[in-house]
A and B are shown apart, each in its own frame.
Chain A
Amino acid sequence: MLLITCPHCGPRDESEFSCGGEAHIARPLAENNLTDAEFADYLFLRDNPKGLFLERWRHAAGCRRWFNMARDTVTHEIVEIYPMGSGPASQAGKAAHAASWRRDTAAEAAAKPAPKARAKKEQVS
């Protein structure tokens, strides 16, 4: 059993939490045309690494808030717990984030506005 430190409630038993799977999966924007195969990377493919893994967790039986956690899937060591919407701060967490195959996918690149669309938006504003 893991002892997980909820950012709001403090250290609690693992049974109070539910794991939301891989973190940092950005949704591709509709304006960026993706092939089905590219979209599948976003929709279906999830990482299952041996080693440090960046995950989303929710304190289901407590404050019911989501947070991110960098956990080693081999040793169960919790390297870091950090808020939703931000990236890992630890060296190991940053390295795991950068090393993920997802960083090179077209789906992730398409989560940002395309350069053309960006230029258009700037003109409008």
Chain B
Amino acid sequence: MASVSNEGQRPPGRTALTDMTVMTHDNPDGGKPGLVITELAHLGKINLRGGSDMLPVISNHTGCSALPDNNRVVSVGDRHIVWLGPDEFLLLCAAGSETHLHSQLTLDMAGIHAAVTNVTDSLCALSLRGKAVRRVLAKGCALDLHSSKFGTGDCAQTMLAHAAVTLIAHDAPGFTLVCRTSFAPYVTEWLMDAGLEFGASFRG
């Protein structure tokens, strides 16, 4: 699965982490920081509620051939469909494309018992990379994060240090973490603190 990314320039506008200072705690053992946090600023997020009859419409706009199974993610290009519940999905798309995609989906869902909600600004997405990512997350998360149990294309809604988050695992040793916008500064600060012993860097 391709990792979620915001290619090109950081889009304009304030985000949850605009005011956070870019900083790096050096790796005490030398070398690269074990955890690198980057905000996926304004990454498009659309919440989809509905049954399997949404598939043709979603497929039309994302190119996916099937909705994800439980705890799984389906990715086609820069569009990712994240399983959130038996009738709930989160669609991630490139920053700036969500408004058009949302209106298209809403139009095409007419007649289907479904809800399409643009939640781009209610949620904050972080990219977590580095060798120590799993060990840092494990400090505040009860989920079994071993790569054999939580590997490529897996996702989970869970608690990280008392904050509700959605974790998405990629093939590279990296995660996308989605949390409430209002929780983003807390989660980022917690991650920086938990990553101290491995070296941690917040790139903004």
Using a CB–CB cutoff of 8 Å, the interface residues on chain A facing chain B are: 8-10, 12-13, 15-16, 61-65
Contact = CB atoms under 8 A, between A and B. Distances in A.
Interface in B113-163: 142-143, 156-159
8 contacts: A9-B70, A10-B71, A12-B142, A13-B142, A13-B143, A15-B159, A63-B85, A63-B157
Secondary structure at the B interface, as helix, strand, loop or mixed, is strand
A15 B70 CA distance: 20
Interface residues of B, number: 13
Contact of B158 (A8, A12, A64, A65): A12
A64 B157 CA distance: 10
Interface of B: 70-71, 84-86, 88, 142-143, 156-159, 164
B159 A8 contact: no
A65 B104 CA distance: 29
Contacts of A61: 157-159, 164
Given A8-B70, A12-B158, A64 B143 contact: no
Contacts of B143: 12-13
